[in-house]
Amino acid sequence: MTASQLPQGIFLTFEGIDGAGKSSHIERTAQAFRDSGRCVTLTREPGGTPLAEKLRALLLHDAMDPLTEALVAFAARRDHLVQVIEPALARGDVVISDRFTDATFAYQGAGRGFDWDKLCQLEQLVQAVPALEGLGAQHPEAAIRQPDLTIWFDLPAAVAAERLTTARVPDKFEAQPGAFFAAVAGGYARRAEAAPQRFARIDANTSREAVWQQVADVLQAKGWLQPGVLA
């Protein structure tokens, strides 16, 4: 198959505070794309490559200041983009990632209080798409790799905290108090407000099937999947 015959790649991300209930819906979405005949690259952040997974372990468990956290997150992201995301999109895969840059703005920016503008600078540096770098002056957004769609699981922080009490041994973020998660949720809302065309808000404070129906409706509205594979 020639490059012109390859299907167009799709970059889809799932976001939300810890406890929002993304995991089962990510796998269900991936299976729906597979059932429709698409090749799927299922990945996560931080992580997705051997190097990024090592950085993930540091980020989730080692104490560090907010700037160091942001730098580690973006270092992992750069390797993830170069090694996994960009090659998969180039060959026409559907790339589904559990978190991407919005999480860094939400957790390190809003949660930790790190400077939002500095995160924007790191985003511009790390997510520059090599094939588009020459367009940066005229089309700055075109030179930055962003998801085609971000499915945001919006859940009240108090509900998320309640769900996490029965979860596995928490990492350093999952162990944060409710006020931290309320701030993180506000960070996601800020990102969604800045890019409404990219975000699809999901009311995650309802039953699993009701949440899935919202996700299915979004994917169908995009024209990416038909009802038959979304049941």
For residue 23, say whether it is annotated as part of any ligand binding site. Answer: yes
What is the C-alpha R_g of the chain? Answer: 17
Cβ atoms within 10 A of the Cβ of 231, count?
A: 8
Residue 108 CA from chain centroid, whole number: 14
Alpha-carbon torsion angle 184, 48, 50, 115, nearest 10: -30
For residue 16, say whether it is annotated as part of any ligand binding site. Answer: yes
Residue 135 CA from chain centroid, whole number: 25
Position 214, amino acid: Q
Reading the block at residue 177, the tokens are 């108090």
Given the structure tokens 């905290």, which residue do they identify? 161
Distance CA 135, CA 143 (A): 6
For residue 65, say whether it is annotated as part of any ligand binding site. Answer: no
Distance CA 195, CA 193 (A): 6
For residue 17, say whether it is annotated as part of any ligand binding site. Answer: yes
Nearest to residue 92, comparing CAs of 39, 128, 36?
A: 39
Task: Give phi and psi for 40, each to the nearest 5.
Answer: -120, 135
13 and 151 Cβ atoms separated by less than 8 Å? yes
For residue 178, say whether it is annotated as part of any ligand binding site. Answer: no
Binding site feature residues = 16-23
Binding site feature residues for ATP = 16-23
